[in-house]
Structure 1
Amino acid sequence: MIDLKRNGEWILVLVTMLAAFGWVCSKQAILAMPPLAFMAIRFLSASILLIPVCLYTHQGIAFTNIPKAVFAGVLQATNTIFWILAISLGGQLGEGSFIMSLSVLMAPIVGWLFFKEKPLSIFWISLPVAVIGLAFLSLSNGWQTNINQLWFFTSAFAQAIFFIFNSRFVQKIAILPLITIQLFCTGFCCLILSILFETWPTTVSYITVGWIIGSIFVATILRWALQLLGQKYVPVGNAAIIMILEPIFTTIAGIIIYDEPMSWTKWIGCLLILISLLIYRGYVFIRTRRSSLYDVEQRSDTSKP
Structure 2
Amino acid sequence: MKTKALRADLLLLLIAAIWGFAFVAQIKGMDHMGPFFFNACRFGLGFISLLPVYFYLEKVSIQQGHKKTYDHRLLAIWGIPTGIVLFAASSLQQIGLLYTTAGNSGFITGFYIILVPILGIALGHSTRPSTWVGGSIALAGLYFLTVKDGLSFNKGDLFTLGSALMYAIQILMIGILSRRVHPLQLSLQQFLVSAILSLAAAMIYEIVSIDALLKSLIPILYTGIFSTSVAFTLQVVAQREAPSSHAAIIMSLEAVFAVIGGWLILNEQLGLQGLIGCTLMMAGMLISQFKRSRSSNNKAVETMGDPSG
TM-score range, shorter chain: 0.7 to 0.9
Deviations 1:169-195 (A, max 9, x none): 111111111111111111111111111
Q: What count of residue pairs does the alignment treat as equivalent?
A: 284
Distance in 1 of aligned mates of 2:39 and 2:260 = 24
User: Given the alignment of the two structures, is residue 96 of structure 1 paired with residue 105 of structure 2, yes or no?
Assistant: yes
User: Given the alignment of the two structures, is residue 79 of structure 1 paired with residue 85 of structure 2, yes or no?
Assistant: no
Structure 1 residue 31, shift from structure 2 partner: 0.6
Counterpart in the other structure of 2:118? 109
Counterpart in the other structure of 2:144? 136
Structure 1 residue 156, shift from structure 2 partner: 0.3
Structure 1 residue 211, shift from structure 2 partner: 2.2
Name the TM-score, length of structure 1 as normaliser: 0.87
Distance in 1 of aligned mates of 2:178 and 2:213 = 39
Amino acid at match of 2:150: G
Does the C-alpha gap of structure 1 residues 129 and 64 become closer, same or farther in structure 2, counting only changes over 3 Å? Answer: closer
Counterpart in the other structure of 1:62? 72
- Deviant stretches of 4+, over 3 Å: 3-6, 51-56, 58-61, 138-142, 204-207
Counterpart in the other structure of 1:24? 24
Distance in 2 of aligned mates of 1:222 and 1:104 = 22
Deviations 1:217-255 (A, max 9, x none): 212111111111111221223212211210001111111
Counterpart in the other structure of 1:209? 217
Distance in 1 of aligned mates of 2:230 and 2:53 = 13
Amino acid at match of 2:270: M
Amino acid at match of 1:133: G
The one of 279, 288, 300 equivalent to 2:295 is: 288
- Tell me whether 219-228 or 145-154 shows the greater mean CA deviation: 219-228
Does the C-alpha gap of structure 1 residues 205 and 237 become closer, same or farther in structure 2, counting only changes over 3 Å? Answer: closer
Structure 2 gaps of 5+ residues are 60-66, 297-309
Distance in 1 of aligned mates of 2:210 and 2:203 = 14
Name the TM-score, length of structure 2 as normaliser: 0.86
CA RMSD of aligned residues (A): 2.0
Amino acid at match of 2:115: M
Counterpart in the other structure of 2:42? 42
Distance in 1 of aligned mates of 2:191 and 2:228 = 9
Deviations 1:9-64 (A, max 9, x none): 10110001110222122111111111111110111222133334434526876134
Contact 2:42 2:195 in 1 (8 A): yes
Contact 1:139 1:265 in 2 (8 A): no
Structure 1 residue 69, shift from structure 2 partner: 1.7
SS of the aligned residue for 1:276 comes to helix
Identity %: 23
Distance in 2 of aligned mates of 1:282 and 1:141 = 34
Instruction: State which structure, 1 or 2, has the greater radius of gyration over its C-alpha atoms.
Output: 1
